[in-house]
Amino acid sequence: MNDGLPPTEFEPERQPVRVQMPQRKPVATIILVVVTGLFFILQFGLQTITGNDILFFYGGKINQLIMLGQVWRFFTPALLHGSILHIALNMYALYIIGGRLERFYGPGRFLLLYVLSAFAGNVLSFVLTPAPSLGASTAIFGLFAAEGMFIFQNRKLFGQLRTRQAIINLGVILMINLAYGFMPATNIDNMGHIGGLLGGIFFAWKAGPLLKLTGEPPFFTVSDGRKRGDILVASLVVMIGFAIIALIPFLTS
C-alpha cells in the first residue's frame, strides 16, 4: 500500500492514455443516402404522373424477369422503395450505422460491403421467395452483421464488457426485426434480410478492419492491420458464392 506517500520506483505514476480514432467523414454513406433519395423522388414522380411504378418494373426483384436474364435486379432493388416511411426508416438506419462503420472501413471497402450485402440478400430472396421485393434493407442488414463482426474481432481493444453489451444490443435489434418479418400479414422479405446478414458476415469476417494500436504512451493511434489481399478474397467469396446460389433456380427449372 502507498498510504498517501509519493509513488516510488516500484510504483510508477499512472498517466492518462489518449487513443486517436479515425476521423473520416462518412462520404460514401452520405452519397448512398442522397442517391437513394433521388431515385425515390424519380420513382415517386413517375408513378404519380403515369400511375405505374416504372422504376420498380425495370429494377425491382421480380423473379420471372431475372429468369429471363435480367441479372441487374440482384443489385438495383436496393435503390428503390415502396413508400416514404419505407425509405425514411432505411435511410435513417443507413446513416446511423454507416456513419459508425465507414470511419473504420473507409469509403471503398464500405461500398463493397453495402453492394455485396444487397446482392446476397436479393439472391437468397430470389431463390427462396417468389414474391417481388424492393428496398435497401438487404444491404442494411449486412451492415448490422458487419458491425457485430467488427466489434467481436476487436474485442480485446473494446473490452469484454463493452463488447458483450454491444453484441447483445445488436442481437436484440436483429431478432426483433426478423421476428416482425415472420408475423402474418406483414409484407416483409425476410429471406432478403437473412441473405444480407449472411453476406455481411462473410465479407466482414475476412475483410473487416483489425484494429491495432501504434505510437508511444501516452499517445496512441488506431490503425488497420487488415491486408488488401484479404479484402479481395472476401469480395470474391461472397460474389462467387452467392452467384452459385443464384444459379439454383436456373438449373432446377
> What's the grid cell of residue 209?
478492419
- Of 125, 133, 137, 235, the active-site residue reads 137
Residues in the chain: 253
Which residues, in sequence order, are CB contacts of 21 under 8 Å at separation 6+? 103, 222
Which residues, in sequence order, are CB contacts of 248 under 8 Å at separation 6+? 127
State CA 219 to chain mean position distance: 31
* DSSP 8-state assignment for residue 52: S
Rounded distance between C-alpha atoms, residue 208 and residue 180, angstroms = 29
Hey, how many other C-beta atoms are within 10 angstroms of the C-beta on 234? 22
Task: For the chain, report the end-to-end CA distance as a whole number of angstroms.
Answer: 78
Active site residue 193: yes
Q: Which stretch of DSSP H or E encloses residue 223?
A: strand 219-224
Segment 209-217 long-range contacts (CB within 8 Å, at least 24 positions apart)? 209/104, 209/105, 209/150, 209/154, 210/153, 210/154, 211/104, 211/154, 211/157, 213/19, 213/157, 217/15, 217/17
Sheet holding 18-20, edge to edge: 18-20, 219-224, 211-216
Active site residue 81: no
Q: Are 22 and 222 in contact (CB under 8 A)?
A: yes
- Of 193, 223, 235, 253, the active-site residue reads 193
Q: Which residues are catalytic?
A: 137, 193
